[in-house]
Amino acid sequence: MENCADRLVRAIGTKGNPCIVGLDPRIDQMPLFITENAIGRYGDLDRAVRGCITEYHERVIDTVADLVPGVKLQIAFYEQHGVSGLLAFKDTIEYAKSKNLIVIIDAKRNDIASTAQAYANAQIGRTTVFGHSVPIFDADFVTVSPYLGRDSWEPFVDTCRTYGKGIFILVKTSNPGSSDLQDLRLAGGEELYVTVAKLVRPYALELLGESGYSSIGAVVGATFPAQADTLRELLPESIFLVPGYGAQGATSSDVAHCFDEDGLGAVVNASRSLTYRFKTRDMSERAFEQLIRERTQAMIADISDAVAARIRTTRQG
């Protein structure tokens, strides 16, 4: 079975960029041609929720599938619509996979032992029931939170090994409040996020692919470039999933700190700044697709320039 990091690295190579499009449903911000009279058209509220989310994402995926290596789904925005939202979540994952996109679930799950295993089964593995082994959401990667310690990510690591999947462990997140715990200085002198990185490294070394990268990655926010430099050194084999570009204010120069000297080693996500924030919801299908495509191309150009500059600086230095 191919290592999941190798699959991601190959997809980055094929598309020529490391940009990930976030698919976070915000029904009240979708264009009117998706949502207008949705309850009437779909028959009831539950069907309208599932229908609008699925249709919106299929259009976005059709528009960007030839441009980017993958998509990231923030499960919270689906979960808030209950079972209808999670049906659309499953629809969206299946559609993205049918277009050969790498699928990352941002779920930040964290629990222990058999409970962590149950989450791993749901997101990237399989569940055995009545003698059948059933894939559930079956993404390529899922994000995992580390507060409960090693026994909270070990079941995910095992699942990655069994099914050729990957995880990104939260090490240094992009939000202002990430300093509350993650930047706390420990008695030994290092910050908590550094300790987390050191705890993660041995697991990263266990699941190395032929690309030299591991299926055990890290979430490293672009909003803290100095910390990204530190983490790049501490976790040389881990691919970084980088939030914070776009809506959260990080620039491409900030993002560049998450890449290796070879210009690899990170994927950069943008969600709202690509797929929402419209001047008006009253736009044509064609105008919508054109806007999503232009924004994605602009992000790709911006990130590619910054990464190229990073490579030049490194070679000169």
Binding residues vs its own copies (CB under 8 A): 24, 27-28, 35, 38-39, 45, 48-49, 74, 76-77, 79-83, 86-87, 90, 108-113, 115-116, 118-119, 121-122, 127-130, 132, 134, 136-137, 145-152, 170, 173, 175-182, 184-187, 189, 192, 195-196, 199
Structure tokens at 61: 């995926």
Comparing CA positions, the residue from 26, 23, 119 lying closest to residue 72 is: 23
Radius of gyration in angstroms for the set of CA atoms belonging to the chain, rounded to a whole number: 19
Closest approach of its own copies to the CB of residue 307, in Å: 26
110 with 69: CB under 8 angstroms? Answer: no
Closest approach of its own copies to the CB of residue 207, in Å: 19
Comparing CA positions, the residue from 213, 262, 261 lying closest to residue 241 is: 213
- Taking the least distance from each CB to its own copies, the nearer of 31 and 209 is 31
- Given the residues 108, 172, 198, 279, select the one marked as catalytic: 108
End-to-end CA distance of the chain: 39
d(CA 72, CA 139): 10
How far apart, in Å, are the Cα atoms of 43 and each of 38, 51, 110, 295?
8, 10, 37, 34
132-135 and 141-144 beta bridge pairing: unpaired
- Taking the least distance from each CB to its own copies, the nearer of 75 and 256 is 75
167 with 144: CB under 8 angstroms? Answer: yes
- Taking the least distance from each CB to its own copies, the nearer of 134 and 308 is 134
* Active site (annotated) includes residue 90: no
Tokens 């925005």, located at residue:
77
- Taking the least distance from each CB to its own copies, the nearer of 81 and 295 is 81
Closest approach of its own copies to the CB of residue 7, in Å: 23
d(CA 213, CA 263): 13
Closest approach of its own copies to the CB of residue 268, in Å: 18
- Taking the least distance from each CB to its own copies, the nearer of 116 and 300 is 116
Closest approach of its own copies to the CB of residue 187, in Å: 4
Judged on CB neighbours under 10 Å (0-12, 13-18, 19+), 46 is: middle
Provide the annotated active-site residues: 108
